[in-house]
């Protein structure tokens, strides 16, 4: 199944997963760029950077199989297998980035917006009763099981 065919299924969890992948790159770049501020923005940048690494393991399940991680981390990451749990984690990461606006306008608003959009996609999938469907391109549905 190609990416275009996955989008044609109109399953909001696929949309959420792909916007989550974009969040990885955006949060990584913005997190690093905000580590060089001399204000409280350093904390928001550090959280944004940490969020990018968390999202990598949420959205690319293949990495949980091939990266050496602790059993506690694996158990924590397995909590985010449903649409509602993914919506919750993205919303909480988005809220933290929205709070960065209290320190002044910055490019972290882009991360806040995209994290909130991703949370909305997962919430819509949950509300519509669509089961979580992982993209085969990102290591879901069969690819991760082949590596055991």
CA distances for 97 relative to 21, 31, 54, 107, 125, angstroms: 17, 11, 15, 10, 23
- The pTM of the full predicted model, rounded to 2 decimals, is 0.84
pLDDT tens, position by position, 36-48: 887 889 999 999 9
Residue-wise pLDDT tens digits, 93-106? 999 999 999 998 89
Residues of the chain under the 50 pLDDT cut? 142-148
Place of tokens 């949980």: 64
Burial, 146: exposed, middle or buried (Cβ in 10 Å; 0-12, 13-18, 19+)?
exposed
């Amino acid at each position: 199944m190609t990416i275009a065919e996955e989008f044609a299924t109109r399953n909001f969890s696929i949309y959420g997963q792909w916007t989550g992948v974009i969040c990885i790159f955006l949060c990584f770049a913005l997190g690093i760029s905000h580590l060089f501020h001399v204000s409280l923005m350093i904390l928001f940048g550090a959280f944004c950077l940490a969020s990018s690494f968390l999202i990598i393991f949420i959205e690319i399940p293949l990495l949980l199989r091939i990266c050496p991680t602790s059993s506690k981390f694996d158990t924590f990451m397995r909590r985010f297998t449903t649409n509602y749990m993914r919506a919750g984690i993205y919303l909480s990461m988005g809220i933290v980035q929205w709070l960065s606006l209290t320190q002044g306008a910055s490019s972290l608003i882009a991360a806040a917006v995209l994290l909130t959009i991703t949370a909305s996609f997962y919430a819509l999938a949950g509300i519509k009763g669509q089961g979580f469907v992982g993209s085969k391109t990102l290591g879901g549905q069969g690819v991760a099981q082949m590596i055991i």
